[in-house]
Amino acid sequence: MQDIEKLEQDLLAEIAGVADLDALESLRVAALGKKGSVSLMMRGLGQMAPEERQQVAPKLNRLKNTVSAALDAAKAALLDAALNARLAGERIDITLPVRPEMTGRIHPISQVIDEITEIFAGMGFDIAEGPDIDDDFHNFTALNIPPEHPARQMHDTFYLPEKADGSRQLLRTHTSTVQIRTMQAKQPPHRIIVPGRTFRCDSDQTHTPMFHQIEGLVIDKTSHMGHLKGVLAEFCKAFFEVENVTMRFRPSYFPFTEPSAEMDIRCTFAGDHIKVGEGEDWLEILGCGMVNPRVLEHCGLDPAEYQGFAWGMGIDRIAMLKYGIPDLRAFFDSDLRWLKHYGFVPLDVPTLGGGLSR
């Protein structure tokens, strides 16, 4: 009996001291293999008298189970340690810091376009685009501005040289061209915004020949002025990052909308800074209205069936307002010191959840 206890102690001590899987396997064979120490003892049971066997057999069984369990536990621990060592060795640090030389900046116009598209994408709008160089039909005629219409003069259009057939292409004077292109290309419902470059032959402190607009268009069977108002109110609150914006719709005229309105929002001018949302002053920010039935007809849609609203807004001016940029022309000077001051860090992508501007 002494032998069994001694053997158990020895085996457990050896197992505890084993350093690798090969050594552990040798130990297993030496104890539980065919000619192992425990197996030999068990084989000895056959030669024992029945009474003795009855006494010894349970002890030997226990020995066998204990050693076997200790071997299993040691094996699991060694495998675990091996896996951990491998994982530690293969670890890849994906948290490398941003390279210090990354000094590029996002232009405030690009930033504002990203912010606006983020807001309208959140409301389910798609982004549509169209060409900078367009034709008379998309820029004027289809938008209910026929050739003799006085609105053509107001647009100070840049024309390209006349073609053989007498037609002239032009640099689009507004993003409203993409209303037409969208309605021609697909069937309603439409829910789009169109950020893009626009051009007019005009240059002074508040005008540059190239500038940016964002157009919005919703066409379906039921949308009305109330929806327009709701969409624009949500937009203003999100864009100017304020809780409340008081708005006012002033009757206006655009050939492509009927009725037409200009939208003002409340603001306070405090020195060179402007607080948007509340205050004594009004700030005009966009033109809008219900899409004129004639525009729908030009796009092959039946105005008795379809209706909707549109709006157009200058991006440059609201970028100046939001970020306190005093001079419009600086936007297009490509002055790196200016960009460093007013630009945005590329990795700070505007999101509704994370904040539009940080």
Q: How far apart are CA 15 and CA 209, in angstroms?
A: 85
Question: Contact between 215 and ligand DAH (CB under 6 A)?
Answer: yes
Question: Contact between 36 and ligand DAH (CB under 6 A)?
Answer: no
SS3 of 172, please? coil
Candidate list 15, 113, 245, 310; residue touching ligand DAH; CB under 6 A: 310
Question: Contact between 289 and ligand DAH (CB under 6 A)?
Answer: yes
Question: Contact between 211 and ligand DAH (CB under 6 A)?
Answer: no
Site for ligand DAH in 241-260 (CB under 6 A): 254, 257
At closest approach, how far in Å is the CB of 163 from ligand DAH? Answer: 25
Question: Contact between 196 and ligand DAH (CB under 6 A)?
Answer: no
Q: How far apart are CA 186 and CA 318, in angstroms?
A: 31
Q: What is the dihedral of CA 245, 249, 250, 255, to 10 degrees?
A: 130
Q: How far apart are CA 286 and CA 313, in angstroms?
A: 5
Question: Contact between 311 and ligand DAH (CB under 6 A)?
Answer: yes
Residue with Cβ nearer ligand DAH (64 or 200): 200
| Cα–Cα distances in angstroms (integers) from residue 240 to residues 66, 237, 243, in the given order | 73, 6, 9
Count of chain residues binding ligand DAH (CB under 6 A):
11
Residue pair 335/343 in contact by the 8 Å Cβ criterion: no
Residue with Cβ nearer ligand DAH (174 or 212): 174
| 138 contact partners, CB below 8 Å, separation of at least 6 | 130, 172, 177, 180, 181
Which residue from 16, 305, 334, 63 is spatially nearest to 189, judged by alpha carbons? 305
Q: Mark the segment that binds ligand DAH (CB under 6 A) among 23-31, 265-273, 297-305, 308-316.
A: 308-316
Q: Mark the segment that binds ligand DAH (CB under 6 A) among 44-52, 110-118, 219-227, 281-289.
A: 281-289
Q: Mark the segment that binds ligand DAH (CB under 6 A) among 87-95, 222-230, 306-314, 341-349.
A: 306-314
Site for ligand DAH in 163-192 (CB under 6 A): 174, 176
Q: How far apart are CA 282 and CA 69, in angstroms?
A: 83
Q: Mark the segment that binds ligand DAH (CB under 6 A) among 9-17, 202-210, 307-315, 335-343.
A: 307-315
Q: How far apart are CA 84 and CA 189, in angstroms?
A: 57
Residue pair 348/358 in contact by the 8 Å Cβ criterion: yes
Residue with Cβ nearer ligand DAH (176 or 223): 176
Q: How far apart are CA 227 and CA 160, in angstroms?
A: 39
Question: Contact between 140 and ligand DAH (CB under 6 A)?
Answer: no
Residue with Cβ nearer ligand DAH (253 or 269): 253
* Contacting residues toward ligand DAH, per CB under 6 A: 174, 176, 215, 254, 257, 287-289, 310-312
